[in-house]
Structure 1
Amino acid sequence: MKAGWHIDYVIQHLRDRLAREDIAELGVRVETRGLAAHVWGSVTSTDCRAAVLRIAEEELAGVPWHADLRVSCHNPPDHPEEVP
């Protein structure tokens, strides 16, 4: 079995699991970078970030990987904008 084929299979399995889980973060991407995986994008909360990282750690066991997930809040502002 080729190493590249294995990582592609594992990454697709991770993508499928992220889509099935309750978190269903649409802003998360998983890509192959050489013989490693890169999990990146934005999530809605620190809890979701932790869940994505936990799932990635489980699914990518034995595969080198890097995560670059940022938490972005999309709540409306809590005060009016003051324009000079």
Structure 2
Amino acid sequence: MTSVENLDYRVEHLRDRLAHEDIAELGVRVEARGAWVMVWGGVADARSRAAVLRIAAEELEGVPWHEDLTVQHAGPPGSAEVLS
């Protein structure tokens, strides 16, 4: 079983990696919720999402965790919207 202090340390280390590694995903939130961890937020693309999941799996090995990551598309729309 993971102690609260150890879990808090691991959560902080995960946050640090997400902010400072090449992906620099600042829109991702990580929160300890009792004995498990929640990772959620928006990422730029599918590649970033995969990187966040990989890093979370490394940092949270042996800890139950859940994710709710959304790929956000910030580009212009593909075509004009037609209003009736």
Task: Map Cα deviations across residues 57-76 of structure 1 (whole Å, 9 max, x no partner).
Answer: 01111211111111111111
The AA in structure 2 aligned to 1:41 is: G
1:17 aligns with 2:17: yes
Pairwise mapping of residues 1-80 of structure 1 onto structure 2 (< 5 A)?
A: 3-80=3-80
Normalising to structure 2: TM-score of the pair? 0.91
Aligned equivalent of 1:82:
82
Structure 2 stretches lacking a partner, 5+ long: none
Aligned residue pairs, count: 83
**Cα distance in structure 2, aligned partners of 1:71 and 1:4:** 31
The CA RMSD measured in Å over matched residues stands at 1.3
Structure 1 stretches lacking a partner, 5+ long: none
Q: Secondary structure at the match of 1:83?
A: coil
The AA in structure 1 aligned to 2:11 is: I
The AA in structure 2 aligned to 1:47 is: R
**Cα distance in structure 1, aligned partners of 2:34 and 2:8:** 11
Runs of 4 or more, structure 1, over 2 Å off, are none
How much identity, in percent, do the aligned residues show? 58
Q: CA deviation at 1:45?
A: 0.8
